[in-house]
């Protein structure tokens, strides 16, 4: 189980880094790689969804929230449709809607999770809440202003990929940080290496 958790953490770092790099690339080449962008988005959604679902099973039963596997399942389904279905052919037509559904479906559980962290007194709730609100705001912007979709989608994708990547990398480092309720650094290190 500990090997699975280690793999999940590294997968989180990998997907976060990939998504952030894609966001930076989109800023400089917004319209040149639209179909390649579709494949990349689909793969990133699949990997992100798998890591979210797997991390749910890696947590203790009392600390699980069902928002993670639900969000992971939606990400895997949409990513699979984009990569293996007719998603690549329809990406330019459907991307604003698919992206909106994905971002909003990820943002709502993130806000719920942030409020849960707030009750526990965690300082991380502000970041989770902020990313959730930003996701919903960008989702509505893309959904209700279709005439600006081409411009907004590319730059919104770039911004959201960068923030989502930073968020995933931040979670990776947060998961690596020893938690005081589990013991000292040396006690945790002994438990992990057994």
- The per-residue pLDDT string of the chain (194 residues; one tens digit each, 9 = 90 and over) reads 667 667 777 888 888 888 888 888 888 887 676 666 777 778 888 888 888 887 777 777 777 777 778 888 888 998 888 788 766 666 666 666 766 777 788 888 889 888 988 888 888 889 889 999 998 887 787 777 665 666 666 787 788 889 988 988 888 887 776 555 555 555 655 665 66
What is the rounded CA–CA span in Å between residue 154 and residue 39?
15
CA atoms in the 13 A half-sphere facing the CB of 175: 20
CA distances from 92 to 10, 82, 140, 142, 184 (A): 32, 11, 18, 13, 52
Give the Cβ contact number of residue 91 at 10 Å.
19
The residue count of the chain comes to 194
């Amino acid at each position: 189980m500990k090997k699975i958790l280690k793999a999940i953490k590294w997968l989180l770092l990998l997907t976060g880094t990939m998504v952030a790099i894609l966001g930076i690339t989109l800023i400089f080449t917004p319209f040149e790689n639209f179909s390649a962008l579709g494949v990349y988005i689909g793969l990133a959604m699949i990997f992100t969804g798998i890591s979210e679902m797997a991390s749910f099973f890696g947590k203790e039963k009392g600390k699980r929230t069902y928002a993670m596997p639900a969000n992971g399942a939606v990400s895997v389904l949409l990513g699979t449709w984009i990569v293996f279905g007719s998603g690549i052919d329809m990406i330019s037509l459907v991307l604003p809607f698919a992206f909106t559904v994905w971002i909003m479906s990820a943002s709502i559980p993130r806000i719920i999770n942030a409020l849960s962290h707030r009750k526990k007194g965690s300082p991380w709730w502000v970041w989770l809440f902020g990313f959730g609100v930003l996701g919903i705001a960008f989702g509505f912007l893309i959904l209700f202003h279709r005439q600006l979709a081409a411009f907004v989608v590319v730059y919104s994708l770039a911004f959201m990929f960068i923030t989502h990547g930073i968020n995933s990398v931040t979670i990776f480092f947060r998961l690596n940080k020893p938690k005081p309720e589990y013991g000292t650094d040396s006690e945790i290190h002994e438990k992990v290496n057994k």
